[in-house]
Amino acid sequence: MRGTDGVASAIAAYSETPKSIRIGYAISLTGPNTAGAGITVLPNYRLLVKEVNAAGGIMLKSIGKPVPIEVIQYDDHSNADDAVAAVERLISEDKVDFILPPWGTGLNLAVASLFHRAGYPLLATTAMNDQAPELGKLWPNSFWFNGTATGAAQAFVATISKLRSDGKIGNSVAILSVADQFGIGLAKVARKAFKQGGFVLVYDRAYPVETEDMREVMIEVKRHHPDTFAAFSYPPDTIMITEQARASNFNPKVFIPPSGRHSRSTRSASASTWKA
């Protein structure tokens, strides 16, 4: 596995005086994942490079001096096939020293085996999957930081169960979920957890990726008068859901929309190399 020492050794072997440490990533610059990646991941990648290079770079003991980071960035267009192609290019053509992960559960799963075969660690910070423990064993260089969907659902139900036992809420629950791997997976385990907790699901609907208007949906949710409302969504779907709930005066006792995605963008060519 390529850890920090492995990267440094590879760089030293490549050149006695390397000009940079090459870090690559495929990220959603266009397509429906754009906002999620642009809010939660991409700013952190760019801040890392900016701050490290402003401090002089990464110190390499092998040459006794710091070396700046150079970034090779590709647009995966929010598409698994494009993400795989971009990571393959980073590995085989660009031969980068380290690869940062894409955004989202589906794209991390799509590229995980490539990271494993090439010996790069996969730091899956924006993925949630019930098979995370098994995936860690299958690909020992992968790290699934968000744990399992079942764990998240059980924690949520434990919280509202306490509120119910305190007499603050009733049994009725409404859920709304984005119709992709993230939303489908969370909704599936949440249904089971609600049932086991003795809650009644009065509304359960999935909405298409890139939905641009939640007004009628939130009015429909309101008609069921749920004590608890949960949306398994991405930004800014989450923001849109919250705004429409306010506009329709929907104010349940528990309102939990986790995080979000949006943006309809044109596909564009997408490779760039830059230094901060």
Q: How do residues 101-150 score in pLDDT, each as one tens digit?
A: 999 988 999 999 999 999 999 999 998 888 999 999 999 999 999 889 89
- Whether the predicted pLDDT of 263 surpasses 60: no
Q: What CATH topology corresponds to 4-147?
A: Rossmann fold (3.40.50)
Please list the residue range(s) of the chain that carry CATH number 3.40.50.2300. 4-147, 149-256
Strands 228-232 and 172-178: parallel
Tens-digit pLDDT profile for residues 59-96: 999 889 999 999 999 999 999 999 999 999 999 999 99
pTM of the model: 0.77
Residue 247: pLDDT band (50, 70, 90) is: very high
Asked if the 149-256 domain carries CATH number 3.40.50.2300, the reply is: yes
Q: What is the largest CA-CA distance in the chain?
A: 69
- What is the distance between the alpha carbons of residues 121 and 116, in angstroms, rounded to a whole number? 7
Task: Evaluate whether 102 touches 28 at the Cβ level (below 8 Å).
Answer: yes
Task: Evaluate whether 92 touches 98 at the Cβ level (below 8 Å).
Answer: no
Tens-digit pLDDT profile for residues 6-48: 555 555 455 467 899 999 999 999 998 898 899 889 999 999 9
